[in-house]
Structure 1
């Protein structure tokens, strides 16, 4: 089937087989920057990335979180660092009366490790602020993509996290400078109803013909376009299609609008929010970007 975290502050119609594997656009859960020479250099670069990501997480908490707030915890390496730092501030008493809300098993685990009492997000909960990792952020619009990270069958999908962060009065995406881009490529995760997923996949395939490949996500390992014999099934009972763009996307918002009009599509990993900020870790400094603000030089 063709086409399917130091700052200023320190898945009855037969699918067409895909002739080639997709580009490996899915980002790992750890932060990664361009390779350097040698194992030691690579380790040093990774350490530097973690330091930069921690600074971005720290700035996110210091700038946006105030005592008495209801705060939503997203997931990912930067979000985990932010939760840890928030826990430190609560223990020191520099922040008090925080009502913490988690979006996933991962974020709940991080809250527990940080000593923060938290509750799971329930639809309708209003948040003052939320933060989460973004796999990639569109320069200028601050539209972001989540859901590329691998989950296991039976786990909740990214839909819960997306709903949670969009309910916040303010939202911060935390990421590295290499993921703040114009002309995004790679996977846009799409949740689809399992009963007629193949028809939905064909319609998406036709919609983005020549620009993207549509592959159903397997529950483990790698598989072909159909997702193998064990496709991933979320806790909600949906399949995940990776719509893997092999040409740059000119406008993430337009892709989101097109996907939402397709029968069988439950949700997608694109988040467009007018109250969003991007907290970007970049070469020893952190920048906070507001929607429509100037780009990072």
Structure 2
């Protein structure tokens, strides 16, 4: 790969499935690996995203609820607005369960009382960002962002799946049938290369498999400082070079690979999606047998 660091040379010392990855390169770092340059990739919050965040709080949060507080730009706006509604007295006795360090920080600044996530905790409602939502099924991908210290894709996913009601807040560009980009996969750190090879074989020709680094250049081997989650796992970013035709099937396939602990796909659960666009806010859900979309 052009510009590969010296730690990846000579190429003959790299496992065979890695050689084609190094030779192809990565054409769009922001699109396919958004954690690599988050500030450069993220646009300023659009007014329509703020309106979607407000609608989420106004329509779904009630006094006395335990609320899962999501991660990301839209969730941050929703947390700020939730705090404002509490200060105004419109909502009372809310307890927030933050999904990340950033959501906890935003909740603290907004004056929202918080508790830690526990396995037996009853969460009435949760909102979260998604990197992409599959139109129709409403299957979602989370975890592409750069993880800060103490953050956990596993915990975020657990809160989302535990909530009695769930809403994702996304832009219209993130709600699509044309799925692409990466899926983060949490794996056991021991014998990780074997797991990566099996994933590479599963999606042969359709995806590249890179181990996510803590710092330094991204690449198949994750550089000298691979990211280790708080649970002790490594993250492989499965970067699709062809369209993802069935996100649920991809998730099922990943779950059956030895060494895979979890992944960033959320599928098969009832949810609502608040979609922000310049033409207005749309709301889609899969609460009935078929997905329904309304324009507000």
TM-score norm. by structure 1 comes to 0.86
Q: Which has the higher contact order (CA 8 A, sep 6+)?
A: 1
**1:27 CA displacement:** 3.7
**1:155 CA displacement:** 2.9
Give yes or no for the alignment of 1:293 onto 2:291: yes
Mapping of residues 47-62 of structure 1, within 5 Å: 49-62=45-58
Mapping of residues 221-236 of structure 1, within 5 Å: 221-236=216-231
**1:104 CA displacement:** 1.6
Q: Which residue of 1 aligns with 2:147?
A: 151
After superposition, the Cα gap between the structure-2 partners of 1:226 and 1:296, relative to the gap in structure 1 and judged at 3 Å, is: farther
Q: Which residue of 2 aligns with 1:173?
A: 168
Q: Which SS does the other structure have where 1:151 is aligned?
A: coil
TM-score norm. by structure 2 comes to 0.86
Give yes or no for the alignment of 1:195 onto 2:190: yes
Tell me, yes or no, if the aligned pair for 1:30 and 1:77 is still in contact at 8 Å: no
Distance 2:14 2:41 in 1: 39
After superposition, the Cα gap between the structure-2 partners of 1:136 and 1:31, relative to the gap in structure 1 and judged at 3 Å, is: farther
Distance 1:95 1:156 in 2: 28
- 1:242 is aligned, of 207, 214, 237, to 237
Q: Which residue of 1 aligns with 2:128?
A: 132
After superposition, the Cα gap between the structure-2 partners of 1:21 and 1:200, relative to the gap in structure 1 and judged at 3 Å, is: same
> Which one is further off, 87-96 or 287-296?
287-296
- 1:260 is aligned, of 255, 272, 285, to 255
> Which one is further off, 189-198 or 154-163?
154-163
Any stretches of 5+ residues in structure 1 without a counterpart?
A: 2-11, 34-45
Give yes or no for the alignment of 1:66 onto 2:62: yes
Give yes or no for the alignment of 1:26 onto 2:30: no
Tell me, yes or no, if the aligned pair for 2:34 and 2:144 is still in contact at 8 Å: yes
Output one character per residue of 1:179-227: Cα deviation in whole Å (capped at 9) or x when no partner. 1111311100000000111110000000000110000011113232111
Tell me, yes or no, if the aligned pair for 2:49 and 2:74 is still in contact at 8 Å: yes
**1:246 CA displacement:** 0.9
- 1:205 is aligned, of 194, 200, 203, to 200
Distance 1:194 1:266 in 2: 10
Pick the structure with more helix per residue. Answer: 2
Distance 2:218 2:94 in 1: 44
After superposition, the Cα gap between the structure-2 partners of 1:157 and 1:294, relative to the gap in structure 1 and judged at 3 Å, is: same
RMSD (CA atoms):
2.3
After superposition, the Cα gap between the structure-2 partners of 1:119 and 1:27, relative to the gap in structure 1 and judged at 3 Å, is: same
After superposition, the Cα gap between the structure-2 partners of 1:109 and 1:21, relative to the gap in structure 1 and judged at 3 Å, is: same
Q: Which SS does the other structure have where 2:190 is aligned?
A: coil
Distance 1:296 1:141 in 2: 15
Tell me, yes or no, if the aligned pair for 1:72 and 1:131 is still in contact at 8 Å: yes
Distance 2:181 2:243 in 1: 9
Q: Which SS does the other structure have where 2:274 is aligned?
A: strand
Output one character per residue of 1:10-36: Cα deviation in whole Å (capped at 9) or x when no partner. xx9935221222343234657979xxx
Distance 2:99 2:225 in 1: 26
Q: Which residue of 2 aligns with 1:92?
A: 88
